[in-house]
Amino acid sequence: MLRLSKLTDYAVVVLVRLAGTGDVQTSPGIAAATGIPEPTVAKVLKTLTLGDLVSSQRGARGGYRLNRALEDIPIADVIAAIDGPIALTACVDGSSLGCESQGLCAMRGRWDPVNDAIRRALTAITLADMQKGLLPAFRTPSPAARLLSAAE
């Protein structure tokens, strides 16, 4: 089902909220503003910090602050930060034994172009595009967007 983790969904909401004010915001504050349970918000924020999307300020009057503008954050980055690298995981996991030994897993590596296409599509859309329902990526055709529109 190509499921995207719910955490990623939360992350988008949190990031957009974080962009609302240029000021630092605490995780309880964001939790209250978004309705997402506080511990979960904290977890998301922590993960986003590791992904270098937000910066944290410790201590009293601390909080989180956005690193880049929404326009400069493709969702691909958010997904990568939360869910790890974007890949449809063909036989990437350690089970290369029954695969290689038979020598007939002819599809090995064939998913790469598919992954690539998805990565492209996900890089073409930024958080700013999601905030407003508009999609400039499809108007000013980026290379990826042109590929996509050419496909229809």
Partner DNA sequence: ATCAATCAGGACCGCAGTGGTCCGGATAAC
Partner DNA sequence: GTTATCCGGACCACTGCGGTCCTGATTGAT
Q: Which residues bind a copy of itself (CB under 8 A)?
A: 1-5, 9, 12-13, 16, 33-35, 75, 79, 83-91, 98-99, 101-102, 104-107, 109-118, 120-125, 129-131, 133, 135, 137-138, 142, 144-145, 147-148, 151-152
Distance CA 9, CA 111 (A): 25
Distance CA 26, CA 45 (A): 10
In the complex with a copy of itself, which residue's Cβ is closer, 11 or 60?
11
**Residue 19 binds: one of a copy of itself, DNA, none (C-beta under 5 to 8 A by kind):** none
With contact defined as beta carbons under 8 Å apart, do 41 and 14 qualify?
yes
Task: Establish if 105 lies at the interface with DNA (CB under 7 A).
Answer: no
Contact range with DNA by CB under 7 A, out of 39-47, 72-80, 109-117, 140-148: 39-47
Using alpha carbons, list the distances in angstroms from residue 86 to 7, 35, 78, 128. 15, 28, 10, 21
Q: Which of 14, 64, 66, 126 binds DNA (CB under 7 A)?
A: 64
Q: What is the dihedral of CA 119, 43, 2, 108, to 10 degrees?
A: 60
Query: Among residues 42, 67, 44, which one has the least CA distance to residue 54?
Result: 67
Give the residues lining the site for DNA (CB under 7 A): 1, 3, 5-7, 10, 26-28, 37, 39-40, 42-43, 45-46, 49-50, 56-64, 83
